[in-house]
Structure 1
Amino acid sequence: MNNSEAQAGAQSAVLQLSQVGKSYNHGLPTQVDVLNGIDLTVKPGEIVALVAPSGAGKSTLLHTAGLLDTPDRGTVRIAGQDLTGKSERRRTAVRRQDVGFVYQFHHLLAEFTALENIVLPQLANGISQAKAEARAQDLLARVGLKDRAGHRPAAMSGGEQQRVAFCRALANGPRLLLADEPTGNLDPGTADQVFAALMELVAATGMAALIATHNLELAQRMDRVVRLEGGQLHAGM
């Protein structure tokens, strides 16, 4: 690939990691390279599965991609912006606007309804109450939860709670969705339903998604699969 092709790829990518490295010591006599020269590009509308053995560093990779952690070396670009070395204020602004996170456990606010859990991040981003509620209602309808808008998390099933978590992650219209084992706490049938809802949301919005999962069957249903092993990424499982 020549320089002009590389630049064009960077401009079209939502997420681009270039030679990203992250090392830890943890009091050990030798340094552990958790990420070692990671190159990854995720384009709009693309859903990429990230598979890895336990402890291989997939959470570190997701946190670095989502600007929750800083790489020791290499560059992280989101929507063409090189955010390497930028201030925490700048990184927080990009993270709030352009990145959505979903985790294995939904982390919904127990005292608020499904609708309110989706409205709150929008209000924090300066959206009016009326627009935030309309957006929340639309997202809930897309995942089949229109009638559960007024329910608090305790009154919903695990699968319903996780679908609300997806909606909350997408509330501010991010360009990039990062999910860490989003169906890992669900039974197989519910996991399949939740994953289908996630796929529909991503397809409807055209965002880019990087989804870490141990479920190889679900991974195969995504656009492509990358495997993290020995600090490096490899194509396929």
Structure 2
Amino acid sequence: MSEPVLELTGLTKTYKPGTPGAVQVLRGADLSIAPGQVVALVAPSGAGKSTLLHIAGLLDLADQGRVTICGQDMTGKSDRIRTAVRRRDVGFVYQFHHLLPEFSAAENILLPQLANGVGRSAAQARAMKLLDRVGIANRADHRPAALSGGEQQRVAFCRALANAPRLLLADEPTGNLDPDTSDQVFAAMMELVAGTGLSALIATHNLELAARMDRVLRLENGRLTEITGQQAGAGFLQSD
């Protein structure tokens, strides 16, 4: 059996511990994602989806538990090592695209590659290939302000995959789009994921989109539960 791309074991996280306002958002969360799997993460508002994604992506630390990425246990690793693993193996997409406004679509995808030591010619070629895969190569020279919301988010997906990570983490990536655009952007994202074979953990409130992924996990009371197709059909999937 292939080694999981992401494993979370016994994660706990409490904000403001030891105070009357302490909030325990993770209470022993466990997760394993195999190569090529696309996993949906649903949860009630405020349940800790973003916290879980930030810990999984090495942007935050759990109080207890273990994060393993591509077989490498990140427990106790230095900031330098965590940054190197995050840059090499993890791509992020958020609800808002966070593109650099002074650069074109292609340049937004080019820059992370240059920062990772890729030559400019190769980086430009990969940027154009990714834009072509999501159907907006003809918009490569446009700055974000000249792009539609759906186009901006497609560029954000391409930027997340610029350095060919093994894992994509997405936090409500279509939450800021209208339903039709959301569906189109999701389809483009799935095309990118399928074409690269990477794994993905995607937090979403859109239950129709969640049901189209390989697996659905619900985060509630600090723990993760797998939701089956039957349960989803029975209305078990309710994010709020």
Interval of TM-score (by shorter of Structure 1 and Structure 2)? over 0.9
Match of 2:93 in 1: 102
**SS, match of residue 76 in structure 2:** coil
User: Which of the residues 206, 210, 214 maps onto 1:219?
Assistant: 210
User: What's the CA shift string for 1:67-102, capped at 9, x where partnerless?
Assistant: 000111110000000001100010000001100000
Aligned equivalents of 1:179 and 1:63: distance in 2?
10
1:158 maps to: 149
Q: Which runs of 4+ in 1 moved over 4 A?
A: none
* Equivalences, count: 228
User: How far apart are the structure 2 equivalents of 1:82 and 1:27?
Assistant: 28
Deviation at 1:15, TM superposition (A): 0.2
Gaps of 5+ in 2: 228-236
**1:199-214 to 2 correspondence within 5 Å?**
199-214=190-205
1:26 to partner: Cα distance = 6.9
Distance in 1 between the 2:134 and 2:69 partners? 27
Q: Could you tell me how far apart the structure 1 residues matched to 2:6 and 2:185 are?
A: 24
Deviation by residue 1:135-171 (Cα, 9 ceiling, x = unmatched): 0000000000110000000001000000000000000
TM-score (norm 2): 0.93
| 1:24 maps onto 2:15 in alignment | yes
- What is aligned with 1:72? 63
One-letter amino acid of the structure 2 residue matched with residue 174 of structure 1: P
What is the CA RMSD across the aligned residues, in angstroms? 1.1
Aligned to 2:41: 50
Single out whichever of 11-20 and 176-185 deviates more from structure 2.
Answer: 11-20
Alignment of 1:136-215 (within 5 A): 136-215=127-206
Name the % identity: 71
Structure 1 gaps of 5+ residues are 1-7
Whole-angstrom CA distance in 1 between matches of 2:215 and 2:92: 20
Q: Which residue identity is paired with 2:175? A: G
Partner of 1:228, secondary structure, is: strand
Question: Could you state the TM-score of these two structures normalised by the residue count of structure 1?
Answer: 0.94
Partners of 1:31 and 1:45 lie apart in 2 by 37
